């Protein structure tokens, strides 16, 4: 999963606050100096606020990054675990199919061997009967 972590580096609300105060007091020249001073203070305060905000954001981002790092590490572990498991099950599948192939081979060979035995039996009876028929006065074997 991906998370949105980008932050705006110069807070928009700082710019907005500064500009609105400037606009509001621009007309009254008498208070101009006071304004400038208070504006300057305001600016400093806001600046500090922004700095704090940025620091907070950075801390957030860092925490976020730390979190992500943990998640990546966990994912990496998961990948390793799955890869190992897959390898293992592939090996299992291979050994099962090896077993099946061997069973098939044995079945085929076994059936072939039985065929051979059955045919031999037919031939042996044929030979016995041939011999028996050559013996004088012999009864048929069966």
Maximum alpha-carbon separation in the chain: 156
Our CB check for other proteins shows the closer of 36 and 113 to be 113
Q: Which of residues 54-113 bind other proteins (CB under 8 A)?
A: 107-108, 110-111
132 lies in the site for other proteins, by CB under 8 A: no
- Alpha-helix residue ranges (DSSP H) falling in 2-140: 12-25, 32-134
Our CB check for other proteins shows the closer of 83 and 104 to be 104
Q: Say if CB 7 and CB 61 are below 8 A apart.
A: yes
Here the tokens at position 1 are 């999963």
3-state secondary structure of 32: helix
Sole window of 4-12, 18-26, 35-43, 129-137 interacting with other proteins (rule: CB under 8 A): 129-137
Answer for which of 67, 91, 115, 138 binds other proteins (CB under 8 A) is: 115
Size of the site for other proteins (CB under 8 A): 17
Our CB check for other proteins shows the closer of 82 and 132 to be 132
47-52 long-range CB contacts below 8 Å, 24 or more apart?
A: 47/14, 49/14, 50/10, 50/11, 50/14
122 lies in the site for other proteins, by CB under 8 A: yes
Phi-psi region of 137 (alpha: psi -120 to 50; beta: other; left: phi over 0): left
Binding site for other proteins (CB under 8 A): 107-108, 110-111, 114-115, 118-119, 121-123, 125-126, 129-130, 133, 142
């Amino acid at each position: 999963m991906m998370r949105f972590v980008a932050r705006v580096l110069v807070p928009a609300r700082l710019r907005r606050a500064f500009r609105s105060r400037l606009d509001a007091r621009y007309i009254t020249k008498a208070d101009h100096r006071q304004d400038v001073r208070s504006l300057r203070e305001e600016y400093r305060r806001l600046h500090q606020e922004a700095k704090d905000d940025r620091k907070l954001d950075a801390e957030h981002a860092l925490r976020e990054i730390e979190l992500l790092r943990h998640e990546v590490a966990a994912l990496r572990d998961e990948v390793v675990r799955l890869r190992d498991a897959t390898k293992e099950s592939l090996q299992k599948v291979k050994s099962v199919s090896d077993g099946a192939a061997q069973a098939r081979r044995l079945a085929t060979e076994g059936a072939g061997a039985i065929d051979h035995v059955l045919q031999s039996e037919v031939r042996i009876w044929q030979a016995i009967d041939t011999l028996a028929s050559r013996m004088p006065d012999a009864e048929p074997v069966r």
